Amino acid sequence: MAPTVDLEARFLAYVAAENKVEPKHWMPDAYRKTLVRQISQHAHSEVVGMLPEANWITRAPSLRAKLILLAKVQDEGGHGLYLYSAAETLGTSRDQMIDDLLAGKAKYSSIFNYPTLTWADMGAVGWLVDGAAIQNQVMLCRTSYGPYSRAMVRICKEESFHQRQGYEIMMHLARGTQEQKAMAQDALNRWWWPSLMMFGPSDDQSPNSAQSMAWRIKRKSNDDLRQEFIDKTVPQAEFIGLSIPDPDLKWNEERGHYDFGAIDWSEFFAVVAGNGPCNTERLEARRKAHAEGAWVREAASAYAAKQSARRPAAGLPAKPHAA
Amino acid sequence: MKWDTCDPSVQYLLHLGDDALVLGHRLSEWCGHGPILEEDIALSNLALDLVGLARQYYQLAAQRISGGCTEDHLAYWRSDREFLNHVLVEQPNGDFADTMARQFFFDAFHVLQLDALQHSSDAELAAIARKALKEATYHAQHSADWVVRLGDGTEESHRRMSAALARHLPFVEELFTAAAVDRVAFERGWGPDVASLRASWLELVGEVVAKAALSLPVVAPKLLRGKQGIHSESLGFLLAEMQSLPRAYPDATW
Amino acid sequence: MSTPDQWPLWEVFVRSKNGLSHKHSGSLHAPDAEMALKNARDVYTRRSEGTSIWVVPSSAIVASAPDEKEVLFAPSDDKVYRHPTFYEIPDEVGHM
Ligand SMILES: [Fe+2]
Ligand SMILES: [Fe+2]
């Protein structure tokens, strides 16, 4: 028998050579645990993330906008579903993960604990929040765990329209009446900093980052992803005449990147700790949906059980039939 | 903009579009709150189909009204007294059984209605109906599947499903009671004699209800005049919410 | 809080075009085969027409599980062309 140390070393070499790990492969316990935590958090984020945008589906200002927003929020539900499935391949049931979420034990992206106050927030969320998420998700398409990577590939394909629809909303507002333009700027002001926080604290402050990089779960540092996002987004804001709410933001010729102001991490940690503006409402909404859906899920299970009891023994067709 | 144009085909299109929009809007309220992720997604698909269908009817109506009228004028600038949908479709979501009862009753009607509209003498309307019939057939299967599972599931689901059927059944008679808008449509060959759809509806619905170990109670139909713009109190709130933005910013385009 | 018996898991295989074989798309939970098929259509094809879908209870899938760790951890090192990093893709092309 090979000693564990040897196995772990070989596992590292295996993922370092860009090989994918599949559900039945041997993997270090810590790798499995990290993945379950990360993928389920990601899944929870998709599902909780439906709420702030669903908040505006019934008030979308045109039928076209209503359809687009509904399809977008529905996509996020699909993403949650793909991700729960990916996590389930690691041996944790979706029910278990949902119980952890509803018990407040599992985390989800803090960005969804901010309120969506105006229609412009639908623009800002699609443009900035999906934009930041995509930055992360494109990287995760190459993550070492096969089912996670495949889920991300599918998700990234669907994400392509999310950011565009958000930017389109912002563009319309920015080119609209004075009031609309003010609405757009206000949304950008409120969502800019929380979006930058989505990438998480600097890597030297993120204890698990180095390990995740070594395992090839994560491929880029939080700071690199954040910088890429800023570099990409600033010109998009300029293009529609909106200003980024950061007096320290300026192009640094030497670095070839934008310099930006200090992020207020105390706000980030307050929201993570549960004290964001909407933490309570978001969890309450999920708990309510889950609790009120219980009898529906039970009914369908009961019906299925009755049906299979009524059917003749499995494997024996009810009647001989021609192919 | 005036909606009560002399073109009665516009009134008919508005009636059809309003049913689709109002029911689609109600279903969209479920988004993010469904009983399980898979069903959340399915409910959104129903809503997407129906709002999409409403747009087609409104676009055709807007074209016929002309003068720069758009689908959004029709959806966002008419009052509840100008909406011509059946009162059934505006009923609040209630619990999942209520939503499915409302859906099941409407879907069975919708399939029959679209089946007839395929042969409408109004070629543009017929084209819309042909495409929508496929979707409505899928909706009808979906709601029937749930009626059966809830009816023949647990004691609780059986109780809830029969209560939901009983709650929504009194709204059904309006579907088969011709109002002026239906009578004109029938005379011109645009749409069916709605009363003639009743027997097939009962057959479709009865079959599923029996399979669900449920029964349709005998109820007195409500006096309803949705197709004349007289609605339940809930529609006013639905529209107030739906129309709030364009009305708050009348000069804006989105 | 949780349902005592979670809906079973199903694997979804979709044939997106005539002539192609069914390909694994993902999985979902459903109470029975009929609902699994309909959910699969809603979730994985967004109901595009003309596709064929298989759903299989995940529990019915028998997967190979070689217990020889040696075999799994010996990637075909001699076949470097199978490694994505073997290929130079210009940055402008983006992620592939
Ligand atoms: Fe997503
Ligand atoms: Fe998204």
Q: Which of A25, A85, A284 to mutate to test the interface with C (most CBs of C within 10 A)?
A: A85
Q: Subunits touching A (CB < 8 Å, at least 3 pairs)?
A: B, C
Contacting B residues, span 130-159, partner chain A, CB-CB under 8 Å: 148-150, 152-154, 156-157
Contact B197, B113 (CB under 8 A): yes
Euclidean distance between CA atoms A304 and C3, whole angstroms: 15
Predicted local confidence at residue C1, as pLDDT:
41
* A298 → chain C, closest CA residue: C3
C37 touches chain A (CB under 8 A): no
Predicted local confidence at residue C45, as pLDDT:
86
Percentage of chain A beyond pLDDT 90 is 88
Contact B212, B162 (CB under 8 A): no
Q: Hey, what are B106's tokens?
A: 């409407």
Sorted by where each begins, the domain ranges of chain C are 4-93
In chain B, what is the straight-line distance between the N-terminal and C-terminal CA atoms, in Å? 19
Euclidean distance between CA atoms B199 and C73, whole angstroms: 68
B44 touches chain A (CB under 8 A): yes
C3 touches chain A (CB under 8 A): yes
Residue A257, pLDDT above cutoff 60: yes
Ligand minimally distant from the alpha carbon of residue A45: 1
Euclidean distance between CA atoms A142 and B72, whole angstroms: 43
Contact A190, A114 (CB under 8 A): yes
Predicted local confidence at residue B227, as pLDDT:
97
Predicted local confidence at residue C87, as pLDDT:
38
Residue pLDDT, tens place only, A51-96: 999 999 999 999 999 999 999 999 999 999 999 999 999 999 999 9
Euclidean distance between CA atoms B232 and C62, whole angstroms: 56
ipTM: 0.96
Contact B165, B217 (CB under 8 A): yes
Distance A85 CA to ligand 1 centre (A): 15
Predicted local confidence at residue B34, as pLDDT:
98
C28 touches chain B (CB under 8 A): yes
Distance A132 CA to ligand 2 centre (A): 10
Q: Hey, what are C88's tokens?
A: 């130079």
Q: How confident is the model at residue C84 (pLDDT cuts 50, 70, 90)?
A: very low
State the smallest CA–CA distance between residue A25 and chain B in angstroms: 29
Euclidean distance between CA atoms A83 and A179, whole angstroms: 40
B122 touches chain A (CB under 8 A): no
Strand order in the sheet with C23-29: C23-29, C9-15, C52-57
Contact B124, B116 (CB under 8 A): no
- Encode chain A in three state secondary structure: CCCHHHHHHHHHHHHHCCCCECCCCCCCHHHHHHHHHHHHHHHHHHHHCHHHHHCCHHHCCCHHHHHHHHHHHHHHHHHHHHHHHHHHCCCCCHHHHHHHHHCCCCCCCHHHHCCCCCCHHHHHHHHHHHHHHHHHHHHHCCCCEHHHHHHHHHHHHHHHHHHHHHHHHHHHHHCCCHHHHHHHHHHHHHHHHHHHHCCCCCHHHCCCHHHHHHCCCCCCCHHHHHHHHHHHHHHHHHHCCCCCCCCCCEEECCCCEEECCCCCHHHHHHHHHHHCCCHHHHHHHHHHHHHHHHHHHHHHHHHHHHHHHHCCCCCCCCCCCCC
C12 touches chain B (CB under 8 A): no
Predicted local confidence at residue C2, as pLDDT:
43
Burial class (CB in 10 A: 0-12, 13-18, 19+), B63: middle
Distance A210 CA to ligand 2 centre (A): 27
For chain C, give the mean pLDDT.
73
For chain A, give the mean pLDDT.
93
Q: How confident is the model at residue A205 (pLDDT cuts 50, 70, 90)?
A: confident
Residue pLDDT, tens place only, A115-170: 999 999 999 999 999 999 999 999 999 999 999 999 999 999 888 889 999 999 99
- The mean pLDDT of C71-92, rounded to a whole number, is 44
Q: How confident is the model at residue B69 (pLDDT cuts 50, 70, 90)?
A: very high
Sorted by sequence, the CB contacts under 8 Å of residue C58 that are 6+ apart come out as C8, C9, C10, C11, C27
Residues of chain A positioned with their CB less than 8 A from the CB of C1: 99, 102-103, 290-291
Question: By C-alpha distance, which of A1, A76, A15 is closest to A45?
Answer: A76
Residue pLDDT, tens place only, B101-123: 999 999 999 999 999 999 999 99
Question: By C-alpha distance, which of C25, C32, C31 is closest to C11?
Answer: C25
State the smallest CA–CA distance between residue B162 and chain C in angstroms: 21
Question: By C-alpha distance, which of A278, A119, A279, A250 is closest to A186?
Answer: A119
Residue A288, pLDDT above cutoff 80: yes
C40 touches chain B (CB under 8 A): no
Predicted local confidence at residue A41, as pLDDT:
97
DSSP B204-220: HHHHHHHHTT--PPP-P
Q: Hey, what are A2's tokens?
A: 């090979």
Sorted by sequence, the CB contacts under 8 Å of residue B182 that are 6+ apart come out as B15, B191, B193, B194, B227
Is A7's CB within 8 Å of C69's CB? yes
Q: Which of C3, C10, C56 to mutate to test the interface with A (most CBs of A within 10 A)?
A: C3
Q: How confident is the model at residue C88 (pLDDT cuts 50, 70, 90)?
A: very low
- The mean pLDDT of B13-33, rounded to a whole number, is 98
For chain B, give the mean pLDDT.
96
Q: What phi and psi values does residue B111 have, to the nearest 5 degrees?
A: -60, -45
Is A176's CB within 8 Å of B253's CB? yes
Contact A298, C3 (CB under 8 A): yes
In CATH, the number for domain C4-93 is: 3.10.20.520
Residue A323, pLDDT above cutoff 80: no
Residue C69, pLDDT above cutoff 80: no
Q: How confident is the model at residue C20 (pLDDT cuts 50, 70, 90)?
A: confident
Predicted local confidence at residue C46, as pLDDT:
72
Contact A39, A83 (CB under 8 A): yes
Predicted TM-score (pTM) of the model is 0.92
Of A86-100, A304-318, B52-66, C30-44, least confident by mean pLDDT is: A304-318
- Bridge partners of A259, per DSSP, are A250
Question: By C-alpha distance, which of B23, B174, B151 is closest to B89?
Answer: B23
Distance A66 CA to ligand 1 centre (A): 18
Distance A39 CA to ligand 1 centre (A): 13
Spell out the domains of chain B, with CATH numbers in brackets.
Answer: 7-248 (1.20.1260.10)
Residue B245, pLDDT above cutoff 80: yes
* C42 → chain B, closest CA residue: B42
Ligand minimally distant from the alpha carbon of residue A154: 1
Euclidean distance between CA atoms B118 and B111, whole angstroms: 11
Which string of b and e fits C38-49 if b means at least 16 CB within 10 Å? bbbbbbbbebee
- The mean pLDDT of B65-89, rounded to a whole number, is 96
In chain C, what is the straight-line distance between the N-terminal and C-terminal CA atoms, in Å? 42
Residues of chain A positioned with their CB less than 8 A from the CB of C83: 17-18
Residue C4, pLDDT above cutoff 80: no
- Bridge partners of C15, per DSSP, are C52
Euclidean distance between CA atoms A57 and A46, whole angstroms: 17
Predicted local confidence at residue A142, as pLDDT:
95
Residues of chain C positioned with their CB less than 8 A from the CB of B36: 7, 29
Distance A127 CA to ligand 1 centre (A): 13
Q: How confident is the model at residue A302 (pLDDT cuts 50, 70, 90)?
A: very high
Predicted local confidence at residue C18, as pLDDT:
79
A78 touches chain C (CB under 8 A): yes
Is B32's CB within 8 Å of A288's CB? no
Q: Hey, what are B21's tokens?
A: 């929009």
Predicted local confidence at residue C67, as pLDDT:
52
Q: Subunits touching B (CB < 8 Å, at least 3 pairs)?
A: A, C
Residue C79, pLDDT above cutoff 70: no
Predicted local confidence at residue C49, as pLDDT:
57
Residue C86, pLDDT above cutoff 80: no
Predicted local confidence at residue C66, as pLDDT:
56
Residues of chain B positioned with their CB less than 8 A from the CB of C7: 36
Predicted local confidence at residue A210, as pLDDT:
87
A300 touches chain C (CB under 8 A): yes
Euclidean distance between CA atoms B100 and B34, whole angstroms: 12
